[in-house]
Amino acid sequence: MPKKPAPSPATDNQLHDHQPGAEQPAFSTEQGNGGELHQTVAYGAHPAAYLTDNFGHRIADNQNSLRAGERGPTLLEDFVLREKIFHFDHERIPERIVHARGSGAHGVFECTKAIPGLTKASIFQTEGASCPVFVRFSTVAGGAGSVDTPRDVRGFAVKLYTDSGNWDLVGNNIPVFFIQDAMKFPDLVHSVKMEADRGYPQAASAHDTFWDFIGLMPEAMHMIMWAMSDRTIPRSLRMIEGFGVHTFRFVNEKGDGKFVKFHWKPVLGIQSTTWDEAVKIAGADPDFHRRDLFEAIDAGDFPAWDLGVQVFDEAFAAKQPYDVLDATKLIPEEDVPVEIVGRMTLNRNVDNFFAETEQVAFLPSNIIPGIDFSNDPLLQGRLFSYLDTQKSRLGTTNFHQIPINAPKCPFHNFQRDGMMQTLVPTGRANYEPNSLAEAGENGGPRPSPATGFNAFTTNDERNDPTQKLRVRAELFADHFSQARMFYLSQTENEQAHIASALVFELSKVTLDHVRVRVVGQLRNIDDNLAKRVADGLAIDLPAKEKAARAPVDLKPSDALSIQKNADDTMEGRKVAILFAEGSDKAAIDALKATIEKAGGTAFLVAPKVGGIKVKGGTLKADGQLAGSPSVLFDAIASILTDDQAKTLSKQGAAVQWFMDAFGHCKTIAHDEATQILLDKAGVEKDSGVVTLDGFAKVGTRRHWAREAKVRDLA
């Protein structure tokens, strides 16, 4: 007699014994905080809901594949199995080439000042007009699995769902960019990404190919000043500025147009970390920025930004010593003040990271009536690139390697990788210009002006303003004036940070001629800066690289400095309070109340988590000492007994806790018992090392005068 097949767990155990009339999956449409319509389906919301495939077919058995007999082969006709495996195999899509690591959130934008005279854009016609938004913050160079805190530009992309259609303002936390023409964007990204022959470094620009490219592209030097400043190591995504980067146009109902630049200014103010702090945060919490944004919104501390505009006409543009269509230039706020016209508030976290943050597609070409493009060549290239990018995430860019599409003659370029890549390029030169041939490496192909393709131009070229040319306007050749202005606008301490960042990055470069060339370019910005970097690298100060156009001295702009605009507010900041068994609960409660009253968050740290007996009761720590290093906080405080302080002074984690806070120029508030720990950590008395009573007055601001004592700066 044949052996009876083993029972199906689902049928024999009656896990899904559905009865006629059982409640089915419920579909509903709700309105979110930003006014958006949100459709949800409550799969499994009721224990008797039917399990179906994606087309609504009820599934009788979700445990076993369909077989030809008990021990026979699985049948191809099993559509339930095929659908599950098919969907699983395609749950991931190619990550973004740049801006792969992102964090997103929903919110609302409200017009706070109507400007119908400047633009007919519907969102700016009446005060109080509002629309939902979705914002994606990101790093640029690293992959989706990289960390949050490398030295990198931060993407700041906003999708406004207006009643006239979607307006995507796709920018960065820096108002200028490395290059002037989109033609060079693939080369820039290739150079900063992992080197082609070795696959590293990840999420870092401190390597040969990036600085080789930068040394050969002097137009990048203004952006380099920003990139090497503290702007690229922010404290929080809630505390960065956003910029549209390009010059756009406002157009009003009469058809009159003016140039406009867009600014997002954080209500919490701008704040950065130190480089050492950023590195240690990466080790302590790789998701520091993503977690910070999520937890702030989850707690109801909704981050907000004011939208500002700089509006000017052609007459103003023509008088400037720079071209307003040049993305490597900014317009100083002292020349054209930023006018605040709206506020954006992020008030809801995503429901599903993949469905929203990963699949969101931003297009600079998404604009609404009243906003238009300028002839900025970098912007013009982006108008094509983003649409093409979104399509490429659904397929392959290597369709030209399919035999029917492949050329019959040789082809050589720097385009690499991609899905279905059948070629095997060698060497690490995948960008141009490069100077790797100077180091004996294969530098790859070069342009051929004489025999290469040239666009047709009219016969009367000199008198035709519409002629097609591969040229740049004369003022685009000034690569150093604003770079110098940015550097000279910084405090002495910030200048030291820039010089030290350059020394660190260039110390990772192994090609000697690349380091020399970059320092030679720095001499066009500031000789003292170049000398500091050369000294830090232990190389002779090289000759100044030739500038295509002599720089002019521009008036420094205080708006370009973080420290000159530092806000002493405690709002949005996090303060750690270290305590242990026997600590005074009343003192802890009083300090916590002071912090929270000022808008900050108190985080209790102890050698152990859980309930700890203290003077006056029991306290539960928010985090354990070894797992809550001081780099995660904006300031620290300590309330200990003499015995506990002596015990902790023998523990490396505790000593390092104070040593790092002191080294990162943070406020340290302490009681008398903690002095033994301060002495062990090398903490010296200064304006930022205060008693508990003095903490409220000093707050969470950085004490930069201390920095020269705790580290060597270039």
DSSP 8-state code for residue 616:
T
**Residue 339 CA to its chain's centroid (Å):** 25
β-bridge partners, 178? none
Q: What is the C-alpha separation between 43 and 41, in angstroms, rounded?
A: 6
Inter-CA distances, 103 with 147, 204, 357, 574, Å: 12, 19, 7, 20
Closest by CA to 272, choosing from 339, 226, 330, is 226
Q: What is the C-alpha separation between 328 and 334, in angstroms, rounded?
A: 18
What is the crossing angle of helices 527-537 and 512-522, to 10°? 160
Pairing of strands 26-31, 37-42: antiparallel
Does 433 sit behind a cis peptide bond, omega within 30 degrees of 0 on the bond before it?
A: yes
Is residue 96 a known part of a binding site? Answer: yes
β-bridge partners, 409? none
Is residue 185 a known part of a binding site? Answer: yes
Is 99 marked active-site?
Answer: yes
Is 172 marked active-site?
Answer: yes
Catalytic, out of 16, 106, 172, 207: 172
32 three-state secondary structure: coil
Catalytic, out of 16, 99, 207, 479: 99
DSSP 8-state code for residue 84:
H
Is residue 101 a known part of a binding site? Answer: no
Q: What is the C-alpha separation between 221 and 82, in angstroms, rounded?
A: 54
The DSSP annotation for 147-194 comes to: -S-SS--EEEEEEEEEBTEEEEEEEESSSS-S-SSGGGHHHHHHHHSS
Closest by CA to 175, choosing from 116, 227, 228, is 227
Is residue 382 a known part of a binding site? Answer: yes
First to last CA, the chain: 88
CB atoms within 10 A of CB 246: 25
Residues with a catalytic annotation lie at 99, 172
Indicate the annotated binding residues: 96, 136, 185, 382, 386, 393
Positions at the binding site for heme? 96, 136, 185, 382, 386, 393
